[in-house]
Structure 1
Amino acid sequence: MKYAFFDLDGTLIPVDSSILWAETLLSHVGKDEKQLRAERIQYDVDYKNGCLDINKFEDFEMKLLARFPRRELDELRVQYLKQDIMPHVLPIAVDLVKKYREAGARVVMITASYRYAVEPIAELFGIRDLICAEPEEKPDGEFTGRWISENFATQKVVNAERFIQKCGGSAADLKESAFFSDSMNDFPLLDHVARHGGKAVATNPDDRLRSTAQERHWEILELFSEHKLF
């Protein structure tokens, strides 16, 4: 196995870190909290229904992020990791990542969430390579409210291939690769890996992905059978 790609939310952790981080910010935003929360909830609904407008969603996330000075964000992130994430980093998921790393695979977290929020979560799993959305920062580290790149649905295919090429490989390496995801939104990359002879693993899959995985004879992995997802 050359590459092992892992989605994050619902795949390696039984919660949605993006929602939890947004709620952390919203609980401190003050003005417009009610309106912003309603907007965030609608984006969650769109995501689950497979009709999320990623450009509008990234605009929302980046503008919310930029409402806070970096110093305050750093403090909130420490609290968020301790209270909302660490309790859900379960040994069974950590061991899965470790198994592929020890087998010689290059382990990569590939998520639609943005770097500032998920980079420390990747570190909790010992994952150094991270493909994710990228916020724009000012020279002093403050966030501008704009985004550089997204990493959702079909864009994951593009970014995964770019990553492999950056590592000196080619699409042929997908034959010795695997991608783990819980969401039908990740069908493009799951299908891309499978079509190249690699392993598509529907991990704690939503109903649509489970049905698709059964039809295509993809592996179905239940990591969190004893833990409620989301």
Structure 2
Amino acid sequence: MHKKLRLALFDLDHTLLPIDSDYAWGEFTQAIGWTDPVVFKQRNDAFYEHYKAGTLDVHDYVRFATEAIRLQGREAALAARERFMAEVIAPALRPEALELVQTHQRAGDTVVIATATNEFVTEPIARAFGVETLIAVRLARDGDGWITGEIDGVPSTREGKAVRVGQWLADRGLDWAGVEATFYSDSMNDLALLEQVDHPVATNPDDRLRALARERGWRILNLFSPHP
């Protein structure tokens, strides 16, 4: 009998990071003058509320969130992303989150970050955590290889996150029966994947997920701050 692959899946925003990297990138584009501080903030805030409520139109949101990147072009966008990593993300890399990831790596688990934030924002964040495998919202590219604003394939949001992880397993000749999977998430948006894995961990959970985790006897992990 083959030994099952041990898989450690991590959501990113408010799970490994105490911030929302997607929303923070939007704020950063305001700070560097790429987006209108009033109009952009209103729309960014509205999209964020829809995300928390589980009613986000991810295609509309990605067009909105990547517009500044598309207009500025590759060179300027990559330079701005480096600044964003240094000024916003680096201070949010908490030792307890890094240690949690490294604990799984030392145990020989396959570690994957699975996030509803797009790959442009999250690729360097995954690298900062020392995680090679990132499942994020893939961005469609034009003939020059630059972002179009559309999504490539199934977006890794809500039920789509479980679908994308399932596709990733299938690409490796695996299925859910062949792995022992743990998933850390803060949000009810990730309920489909939490229900799919062997070991769901409600991590810094929102109130709805905390209540559900208590009801179902799931582990609750308060990674960043104590909580009753």
- The CA RMSD over aligned residues, in Å, is 1.8
Report what 2:212 is aligned to: 212
TM-score (norm 2): 0.91
Structure 1: which 5+ residue stretches go unaligned?
none
Corresponding pairs, count: 222
Distance in 1 (CA, whole Å) between partners of 2:34 and 2:106 is 46
CA displacement 1:35-61 (0-9 Å, x = unmatched): 222111101111122222222212222
- The reply to whether residue 55 of structure 1 matches residue 59 of structure 2 is yes
Contact 1:2-1:106 within 8 A present in 2 as well:
yes
TM-score (norm 1): 0.90
| Partner amino acid, structure 1, of 2:216 | R
Report what 1:162 is aligned to: 167
Distance in 2 (CA, whole Å) between partners of 1:23 and 1:211 is 31
**Which secondary structure state, in structure 1, belongs to the residue aligned with residue 61 of structure 2?**
helix
**Which secondary structure state, in structure 1, belongs to the residue aligned with residue 162 of structure 2?**
helix
Report what 2:45 is aligned to: 41
Q: Which region of structure 1 is more displaced relative to structure 2, 25-34 or 201-210?
A: 25-34
Superposed, 1:70-109 pairs within 5 Å as 70-109=74-113
Question: How big is the shift at 1:30?
Answer: 4.9
Superposed, 1:113-132 pairs within 5 Å as 113-132=117-136
Contact 2:59-2:151 within 8 A present in 1 as well:
no
Report what 1:19 is aligned to: 23
- The reply to whether residue 188 of structure 1 matches residue 192 of structure 2 is yes
Structure 2: which 5+ residue stretches go unaligned?
none
Question: How big is the shift at 1:73?
Answer: 0.7
- For residue 11 of structure 2, the aligned residue among 7, 26, 34 is 7
Question: How big is the shift at 1:140?
Answer: 3.3
Distance in 2 (CA, whole Å) between partners of 1:15 and 1:62 is 19
CA displacement 1:141-198 (0-9 Å, x = unmatched): 4322222132100001111111111122112034x110000111111110121xxxx1
Contact 1:6-1:180 within 8 A present in 2 as well:
yes
